[in-house]
Amino acid sequence: MADEPRAQVRERFRARCAYCGVHEDAVGATLTVDHHRPRAHGGTDDLENLVYCCARCNEHKGAYWHELDPPHVRLLHPGRDELAQHLRESDDGRFVGLTSEGDFFAQRLRLNRPQIVAYRRARRVEAKLTAELAASRRRVEELERAVVDLRAALESTADEIERRSKGRP
Ligand SMILES: [Zn+2]
């Protein structure tokens, strides 16, 4: 494939496998470009037919095309279908199908292989820690503002005491 469509499809899917979600930084290499409708079954090089994906997902998908291959369930297209309506990620990092298409998608592409589940779980932990860190930083800022306010109150009280003591006969 020429460099330009490859770059476009990579950008469209933000350098992640559009099937399992792995980022190319985690793979340590650029990913492959899949023809959602296989070329052997009339698929074209049109950008709409191209999906950025990792080698393993590409291999599991193979030349599946629902019009010809059993079980004749359409494989969801990550660029056209709203995957969140068909799949959800559970707390342990596994993909759970919400529809029969979602079930088939997860099963055909082996989206719950142990390594990718571990990867998703690590990302969840990272996201949680990042959120906790941001919350802690906000709390520190609040406390710093409170310290400034308290210091001002303390100074004003000290001034008041001084004024009163001077006013005494
Ligand atoms: Zn993948």
| Residue 127 clears pLDDT 70, i.e. is over it | yes
CA angle centred on 58, ends 42 and 95, rounded to 5°: 115
pTM given for the model: 0.80
Over the chain, what is the mean pLDDT?
95
Q: Are residues 138 and 127 in the same domain?
A: yes
Q: Are residues 103 and 155 in the same domain?
A: no
The domain boundary, picked from 69, 94, 112, lies at 112
Q: Are residues 92 and 129 in the same domain?
A: no
Q: Using the mean position of ligand 1's atoms as its centre, give its distance from the Cα of residue 83 in Å.
A: 14
Q: Are residues 51 and 104 in the same domain?
A: yes
Beta strand 32-35 pairing with 50-53: antiparallel
pLDDT in tens, 34-54: 999 999 999 999 999 999 999
| Residue 126 clears pLDDT 70, i.e. is over it | yes
Percent of the chain with pLDDT over 70: 98
- 52 exposure class (CB count in 10 Å sphere: 0-12, 13-18, 19+): buried
Q: Using the mean position of ligand 1's atoms as its centre, give its distance from the Cα of residue 17 in Å.
A: 5
Q: Are residues 98 and 123 in the same domain?
A: no
Q: Are residues 81 and 138 in the same domain?
A: no
The answer to whether 74 and 86 are in contact (CB under 8 A) is no
The total number of structural domains in the chain stands at 2
Q: Using the mean position of ligand 1's atoms as its centre, give its distance from the Cα of residue 129 in Å.
A: 25
Q: Using the mean position of ligand 1's atoms as its centre, give its distance from the Cα of residue 156 in Å.
A: 64
Pick from 13-22, 84-93, 132-141, 160-169: least confident: 160-169
Q: Using the mean position of ligand 1's atoms as its centre, give its distance from the Cα of residue 133 in Å.
A: 30
